[in-house]
Structure 1
Amino acid sequence: MTSENFWRARPDGNGQWAISTWAPDAKVVAVEIDGSAHPLQPNVEGFWSGTIAAPAGAAYTFVIDGQKFPDPASHQQESDVHGPSRLTDPAYQWSSEWPGRPWHEAVIYELHIGTFTPEGTFASAAEKMSHLAELGFTAIEIMPIGQWSGARGWGYDGVLPYAPHPAYGTPDDLRQLIEAAQSAGLMVILDLVMNHFGPDGAYIHQTAPKFFDEKAHTPWGAAIDFDQPAVRRYWIDCALMWLTDYRLDGLRLDAVHQIKGPGADRFFADFGQAVADLDLGRPLHLIVEDEGNEPGLRESGLYTATWNDDFHHAIHTALTGESQDYYAPFAVEPVGDIARALERGHVEEGQFRPGRDEPRGQSCAHLPFTSFVNSTQTHDQIGNRAHGDRLLTLADAEGVKTAYALLLLSPFIPMVFMGEERGATSPFLFFADYEGELAEAVRKGRAAEFAGIAALGDGVPDPIAEQTFTDSKIDWSETGSAREWLDLTRAALTFRNAYVAPLIATERAGDPIIRRTAEKALTAHWTYEAGELVIHLNFGDVGDHPPMDRDPDFSLFDITRDTFAIAAWSHSA
């Protein structure tokens, strides 16, 4: 593709803006800036472009065959997704240097800007970054912020993926949050949704119908056609913008298993290589959500890690006894599945399992354990329940604490969902901000969605009600229980920083040894070039664990007596 083929309006020096969009079916395209129309010139690849003098901050729209549209690659809107876009200069004076962090040091804190603080803004989130770093976290992962219709939402129904949502603040407010995080030593990862657009305000369906393959469908409608070079360029430009203009450390790519069809493999290769080719003076990390448990992206060396739902499902079923829907295969022998996850990373690697019609996954045990992002709670696993239940409301606190400690101590990359570090019991509910027929459709769709996923009792919170959003905000008061959880977080992450991170920075020196010491207890032994890590785990039974030559370096509850307990030892080579 030529240098003229780009999506967005960008400054070109001396008050000039290079402006371009893809409208392959259009007959006439212009850009209207502060009421004045400027014709754009077409090329054979369907892009229309021009260079126009205008001040930064000016409002603009594309006029395609006489109809006005916001820029599908808008960096900032005047207001909502239906109105004009704004010419936005990405220049920013960072006040500090940031070299980034290596991936083996990652301890991720997933957060939703709107509910992370009472104010729900970039600015208020910035005030909490030093607190997270003091606890021992080394990265935040921000749920999607690309603008969607309305003021409230999870972010996965965005329609302008280049534009930070104004409900959270301005682009510079976001940069100030990122600088606050990095100044505290925290990497910043952004969740990016490339597999679909939301249901309201996605004018790209009209400006570029060929962006979609109407014959292929996803759970969210017509599939995006990644066989189109302009489509691949749209998402690559989007990713590079976030990484360069906002000094991000990485991206989490949502539901990549829904990016398929002709062009998908080429897209992943091009996308990963474009990020790898950036020379920004810091390491960049790409994390994927892939329900397929496939090794290919990680084997390429271009993608760092994947979310590992298998670990979560095994922990959840062991603690709650739930067996519905996707929990069914993990409810048969959950502690055995925990053992397998500790040994191999994924549990499901292509074998037939009870509760599943078709096998899922391939062997990934040869991959470094740092390529698995483990969790015991996520926005999905809490929010995709009828009442947004956190694990502490479903299981005994001793078991949940033990699972949390295992997450933080084991040699995989841990991810904590906001509030988990303080023992939050407040819900994280599904919420949106639509009107009319769409609002009613979301209500009905929500009711249908949760029906098979542990609905507890009758009466589902209205996803459109502002109260549902408000109820999902974190309680920052430090009760006795919160202090206990915060102390546990500090202690576990102190151990991790001192012992686990140096180990997993090196290569494995042998296969893990995971031995069941009771029906619901096990011992895990991992060997690395830099040393060894041993964990004894009681997860419902007191195990007959092998004796150790000294007291543990970390312990929670009494491993010799309590049915839920954990103890850990590290040995340097």
Structure 2
Amino acid sequence: MSRPNAADDHPCRGYGAHLLDDGRACFRLWAPDAGQVELLLHGTARPMWREDGGDHVLVAGAAAGDRYAYRVDGRRVPDPASRLQPDGVHGDSAVDDPAAYDWRHRDWRGRPWREAVICELHAGAMGGFDGVRRALPRLAACGYTALELMPVAAFDGARNWGYDGVLPYAPHPAYGTPTALRALVDEAHGLGLMVLLDVVYNHFGPSGNELPRYASGFFRADRPTAWGSAIDFRRPQVARYFVDNALMWLRDYHLDGLRLDAVHAIEPRGFLEHLAAEVRRACAGREAHLVLENEHNDAGLLRGGYDAQWNDDAHNALHVLLTGEREGYYADFAADPTAALATALGEGFVFQGQRDRRGVARGEPAAGLPPEAFVLFLQNHDQVGNRPLGERLTALADPRDLRAATALVALCPMVPLFFMGEECGCTTPFLYFTDYDGELAGQVREGRRAEFAQFAGFADPARRARIPDPNAPRSFAGSIPAVDDPVAAARHAQWFAHLLSLRKARVGMQAGAAHALGCRVLAERALHARWRLADGSRWELALNLSDRDVVLPGDAAAGVVHGEPADAFLPAQRLLRPHALVALAEAR
């Protein structure tokens, strides 16, 4: 046994296995509750050195690909900071060498956030990392400038959305190897595409997490959550575990940014500020973007180290307008969805301190935040997949309204996000799917169905029983994007690419941030939003989802840049037609 000098050897300061330059590797595990920890490597068990604070460390001869595990008080466990899990989350870990990949586009420095047009996708549903890589030319041709991968961290089973990950450092083996993920990112950069990754730092999945056995301090018994005890980000070892994870994705995989899932479940807020500061320091000299999902609508984080937040408020208002649905969280937007959408387009958040349907005050004033601080979307994995039957808007909305709303998202100065297949009018549902066995499989299935008991359409137990079983292989197979009519899909993709080309020419390539000039309600289901672009010109979008013509204000810009449909606007009468969107511009 050798005691490494952490002060002299940088890799020894991080958790997991880190190759050194002399044919050895440093292994580090935080196991404060353990009496004895051994490294199992090359068929031998070697006691590890315990440091103050509960870290266990050992330097031993190792090479890339070597399998290893830890034996903690007699129990064999994988490395919770494993970079490679060839046999899944219950198997042994393996050493990864990030320096072995020969980057073809190592000089890539990213793209400014204002140029982002995002396609969110599920790597498994696209055929793994290699399948996504093969789709890159098509996605780039559609006009996307960024991909956002749903979580790829290792989880139990072969199929999962990724939010049940238990080994956050290891790409899921069913999607491909770390090398395959690096090749995907490398090729994307060669096509001018950024790659963002969704990471889950607020909880671990229900199967395969061994941390409670030897590091109970990782969790807070006084803070229960929907997923179990909350993670204790007050502890320096825990904060370090997740900060190092973020830096690993950005450094070892050359990713362009991270989207942090459900940060409203992370306490204290100081951890988020610390993480952003560490990312900014480590990624100085290149673009690295940080995006939040945050029910708290915390504007302070967007003025601090974070680029943007998913704008659920805007989505919810749009969804009510498009579908008429008013149950669940849509109830907060049902009274006047037009006014809610106008607030979102003009100010960012709808909830800026008001009380929601549960009586909870939510949000902070968003005044002064640029439009690019908000990610705008009609659909994403949550808003489609968390429906009982996983329907896309193609099955729920008037096609004319959906087309106009899609144009609104594409041409708005907020950062647009589309869900995989939206670019070709995909109608395939996206269901919730997992791959659990035994009792856990039953709990997930019944828990999923119980979630919808409060909804009118599923109050009947017999109807709830028809909600697809997440563990059935067909739930995953039926979620793979497909098109029924290739000719219609090609036409839709061409139209979609035209929208994004127009966005690039008029909005996306402006040097500097736009700022909102407000949004006016013209009539029920009709509004008019205005922005000042960085070059001083005015950009305006008028949306009419009603069944009647609407008169545009006299001070609206005169130059019609785009109409959806083609006769969306009658200039002489300044009329916006029903089920239409028009983009207008006025030079400085």
| TM-score relative to the length of structure 1 | 0.95
Shift of 1:526: 1.3
Question: Conserved in 2, the CA contact under 8 Å of 1:329 and 1:356?
Answer: no
Q: CA deviation at 1:236?
A: 0.7
Contact 2:564/2:582 (CA < 8 Å) preserved in 1? Answer: yes
Alignment map for 1:346-385 (pairs within 5 Å): 346-352=349-355, 355-385=357-387
SS at match of 2:500: helix
Aligned mate of 1:277, from 274, 281, 290: 281
The 3 A distance-change label for structure 1 pair 213 and 329 is same
Q: 1:340 to 1:266 in 2, by over 3 A?
A: closer
Q: Is 2:435–2:441's contact at 8 Å kept on the other side of the alignment?
A: yes
**Alignment partner of 1:266 is 2:270:** yes
RMSD: 1.8
Q: How much has 1:356 moved relative to structure 2?
A: 4.2
Q: Counterpart of 2:540?
A: 534
Tell me the equivalent position of 1:310: 313
- What runs of 5+ residues in structure 1 fail to find an aligned partner? none
Q: Is the 8 A contact 1:522 1:543 kept in 2?
A: no
AA partner of residue 520 (structure 1): R
1:523 maps to 2:532: no
Mapped pair 1:194 → 2:201: yes
Q: Deviations over 1:317-340 (max 9, x none)?
A: 011111111000111111111111
Relative distance call for 1:505 and 1:529 in structure 2 (3 A) is closer
2:152 is equivalent to residue 150 of structure 1: no
Q: Deviations over 1:60-107 (max 9, x none)?
A: 011112221100000001301111100111111101231210000011
Aligned mates of 1:169, 1:529 — CA distance in 2: 42
* d(CA) in 2 for partners of 1:156, 1:134: 30
Q: Choose which of 1, 17, 26 in structure 2 pairs with 1:18.
A: 26
- Residue correspondence of structure 1 range 152-191 to structure 2 within 5 A: 152-191=159-198
Is the 8 Å Cα contact of residues 520 and 543 (structure 1) preserved in structure 2?
Answer: no
- Partner residue, 2:264: 257
Please give the alpha-carbon distance, in whole angstroms, between the structure 2 residues aligned to 1:150 and 1:549.
55
Q: What is the CA–CA distance in structure 2 between the aligned matches of 1:94 and 1:207, rounded to whole Å? A: 38
- 1:359 deviates by 2.7
The answer (yes or no) to whether the contact 1:385–1:455 under 8 Å persists in 2 is no
8 Å CA contact 1:515–1:522 kept in 2: the answer is: yes
Q: Residue 531 of structure 2 aligns to a residue in which SS?
A: strand
Extract unaligned runs of 5+ from structure 2. Answer: 1-5, 570-574
> In the TM superposition, what whole-angstrom CA distance separates every residue of 1:406-445 from its partner, at most 9, and x where no partner exists?
0111110111011111111110000000000000000011
Task: Quickly say closer, same or farther: Cα 1:133–1:237, change in 2 above 3 A.
Answer: same
CA distance in 1, matches of 2:115, 2:447: 40
> Structure 2 CA distance, aligned partners of 1:551 and 1:210?
62
Check the 8 A contact 2:371/2:414 in 1, yes or no: yes
Deviation per CA, 1:494-514, whole angstroms, max 9, x where unpaired?
Answer: 111001124472353xx5132
Pick aligned residue for 2:428 from 406, 426, 429: 426
Match of 1:58 in 2: 66
Q: Which residue of 1 aligns with 2:240?
A: 233
TM-score w.r.t. the length of structure 2 is: 0.92
Distance 2:316 2:210 in 1: 38
What residue is the counterpart of 1:390 in the other structure? 392
AA aligned to 1:570 is: A
Task: Choose from 96, 114, 117 the match for 1:107.
Answer: 117
- Residues 511-552 of structure 1 deviation map (CA, whole Å, 9 limit, x = unaligned): 513222222212222123412101121121421113667552
1:296 pairs with 2:304: no
Q: Of residues 342, 355, 363 in structure 2, which corresponds to 1:339? A: 342
Distance in 1 between the 2:351 and 2:499 partners? 28
Q: Does 1:95 align with 2:101?
A: no
Q: CA deviation at 1:466?
A: 0.3
| Alpha carbons 1:144, 1:156 under 8 Å: kept | yes
- Counterparts in 2 of 1:451 and 1:391: CA distance versus 1, 3 Å: farther
CA distance in 2, matches of 1:379, 1:364: 26
Q: Give the Cα–Cα distance (whole angstroms) in 2 for the partners of residues 453 and 129 of structure 1.
A: 39
Give 1:561 deviation, angstroms: 6.2
Q: In structure 1, what is the Cα distance between the partners aligned to 2:552 and 2:167?
A: 54
Matched residue type, 2:250:
L
Once the two structures are superposed, residues 209-263 of structure 1 have per-residue CA deviations (whole angstroms, 9 ceiling, x without a partner) of: 1111122111100111111100000001111111000000000000000002xxx
Offset of residue 108 of structure 1: 0.6
Amino acid paired to 1:283: E
User: In 2, are the aligned partners of 1:518 and 1:544 still within 8 Å (CA)?
Assistant: no
Q: 2:222 aligned with 1:210, yes or no?
A: no
Question: 2:233·2:239 contact (CA, 8 Å) conserved in 1?
Answer: yes
Once the two structures are superposed, residues 332-365 of structure 1 have per-residue CA deviations (whole angstroms, 9 ceiling, x without a partner) of: 1111111111110111111246x44223211113
Residue 572 of structure 2 corresponds to none
Deviations 1:37-56 (A, max 9, x none): 12211111110111101222
Q: Give me the whole-angstrom Cα distance separating, in 2, the residues matched to 1:549 and 1:40.
A: 71
Structure 1 counterpart of 2:302, one-letter code: R
SS at 2:341 equivalent? helix
SS in 1 for 2:551: coil
Match for 1:94: what amino acid?
Answer: W
Contact 2:576 2:582 in 1 (8 A): no
Show the counterpart of 1:545.
552
Paired residues, number: 563
For residue 450 of structure 1, give the secondary structure of its aligned residue in structure 2: coil
Do the aligned partners of residues 137 and 453 (structure 1) sit closer, same or farther apart at CA in structure 2, a change above 3 Å counting? Answer: farther
Deviation at 1:206, TM superposition (A): 1.3
Between the aligned partners of 1:479 and 1:162, the Cα distance in structure 2 is: 39
**1:296 deviation in Å?**
1.6
